[in-house]
Amino acid sequence: MTRVRTAGARTKVAVIGSGNIATDLMIKILRVSESLEIAAMAGIDPDSDGLARARRLKVATTHEGIDGLVAMDEFEDVRIVFDATSAGAHRRHDEVLRARGRTVVDLTPAALGPYVVPPVNGDAHLDAPNVNMVTCGGQATIPIVAAVGAVTQVHYGEIVASIASRSAGPGTRANIDEFTETTSSAIEKVGGAARGKAIIVLNPAEPPLIMRDTVHCLVSHCATEAVTASVEEMVGRVQAYVPGFRLKQKVQYDRVAPDDPLHTLAPDTGDLLKVSVFLEVEGAAHYLPAYAGNLDIMTSAALRTAERLAAHRSTEAAK
């Protein structure tokens, strides 16, 4: 029997995974979302802190992974499922969930569905059965590449994401190769750069450092005032759902001399200007310390995306 949700009812969601990202996401849904309701969390470690916290918060749980989730009574009402596991595991999760008509928000680098970065293309894939949240570095930097690209063509975009080693759990470390590949691809496909490159640094400094991101864009000479204004406007849009996202210093511009090796990254483009943007991302500390801004921006972006998907589906269902 198909259940009909009443007007104004929250969309029920589930989270696969019980690690740092999954747990932070669960707590965000409980604390700050006005349109989503978490119905279940599925993990594979019965002793994980994530599942223990979920049980204390009266969220239904299973330690039998995706198979346990779809067997739960609570799953019947779930409309959107967040996958916060690994790129390898996501392929089967997606297959199982698509067969059951659920929408998937993928927080792994698997990239089976289209990339979504909320302030750049948040409304572009509202009917997709699976959307991919790129990576933490991608969520922090692709909006900036897109902001520069809104003013002038970005011939080459390079980002360096530096995160505290202590904020990189087993899943992040296992997905390092996928991180660089997925982020590089999304710099081009979403950010609009002709070429993209991504680098991640796990910083072992103690005490742990807040996430720092550097964005370099090679562009033709342009009105720098317009680029700065576009970047600052984009920072404000990201801050709407990630308050700890900020410019670390003013946008910098450097002329690239004709004999500079950087010209090999954008050949046959004439005079070049390097635009450099330095960012800092402080987490909201819903579950993890504030230095784990890499996790916070990922879960915040996923939450914003799911809320938009839920609103769209409710609107379509009401027609």
Q: Where are the beta strands (DSSP E) in the chain?
A: 11-16, 36-42, 60-62, 80-83, 103-106, 130-132, 154-164, 196-203, 211-220, 245-247, 252-256, 272-281
Measured in residues, the chain has a length of: 319
Q: pLDDT above 90 covers what percent of the chain?
A: 86
Q: Give a yes or no: residue 3 inside a domain.
A: no
- Residues 114 and 221 reside in one and the same domain: no
Q: What does the alpha-carbon distance between residue 27 and residue 33 come to, in Å, rounded to a whole number?
A: 10
- Residues 224 and 203 reside in one and the same domain: yes
pLDDT tens track for 155-181: 999 999 999 999 887 777 877 888 899
- Residues 61 and 188 reside in one and the same domain: no
- Residues 129 and 242 reside in one and the same domain: no
- pLDDT for position 3: 35
- Residues 262 and 174 reside in one and the same domain: yes
Q: What does the alpha-carbon distance between residue 262 and residue 242 come to, in Å, rounded to a whole number?
A: 33
- pLDDT for position 4: 35
- pLDDT for position 143: 98
What does the block give as tokens for 284? Answer: 């909201």
pLDDT level of residue 2 (50, 70, 90 thresholds): very low
| Active-site pick, 27, 136, 251, 265 | 136
Question: Could you tell me which residue, 174 or 27, shows the higher pLDDT?
Answer: 27
- Residues 191 and 314 reside in one and the same domain: no
Residue 37 class from Cβ within 10 Å (0-12 exposed, 13-18 middle, 19+ buried)? middle
Query: Residue 116 in contact with residue 312, Cβ under 8 Å?
Result: no
Name the DSSP letter for residue 115: B
Q: Give a yes or no: residue 6 inside a domain.
A: no
Q: What is the CATH number of the domain that holds 142?
A: 3.30.360.10
- What angle, rounded to 10 degrees, do the helices at 136-149 and 293-318 form? 70
pLDDT tens track for 245-265: 999 999 999 999 989 999 899
- Residues 124 and 224 reside in one and the same domain: no
Mean pLDDT on 98-124: 96
- Residues 226 and 158 reside in one and the same domain: yes
- Residues 122 and 171 reside in one and the same domain: no
Q: Is 136 a catalytic residue?
A: yes
Q: What does the alpha-carbon distance between residue 191 and residue 168 come to, in Å, rounded to a whole number?
A: 25
- Residues 38 and 123 reside in one and the same domain: yes
pLDDT tens track for 43-52: 999 999 999 9
Q: Give a yes or no: residue 85 inside a domain.
A: yes
Look-up: residue for tokens 């293309």?
121
Q: Give a yes or no: residue 268 inside a domain.
A: yes
Q: What is the CATH number of the domain that holds 117?
A: 3.40.50.720
Q: What does the alpha-carbon distance between residue 125 and residue 102 come to, in Å, rounded to a whole number?
A: 15
Report angle CA 294, 10, 306 to the nearest 5 degrees.
35
pLDDT tens track for 183-205: 999 999 999 999 999 999 999 99
Number of domains in the chain: 2
- Residues 152 and 285 reside in one and the same domain: yes
What does the block give as tokens for 182? Answer: 């997925």
pLDDT tens track for 63-104: 999 999 999 999 999 999 999 999 899 999 999 999 999 999
Q: Give a yes or no: residue 5 inside a domain.
A: no
- What angle, rounded to 10 degrees, do the helices at 136-149 and 176-189 form? 20
Specify the 3-state DSSP secondary structure of 254: strand
- Residues 44 and 96 reside in one and the same domain: yes
Q: pLDDT above 70 covers what percent of the chain?
A: 97
**β-strands 154-164, 196-203 pairing:** parallel
Domain with 159 in it:
136-291
Q: Give a yes or no: residue 172 inside a domain.
A: yes
Q: What does the alpha-carbon distance between residue 293 and residue 9 come to, in Å, rounded to a whole number?
A: 31
Q: Give a yes or no: residue 1 inside a domain.
A: no
Q: Give a yes or no: residue 22 inside a domain.
A: yes
- Reported pTM: 0.93
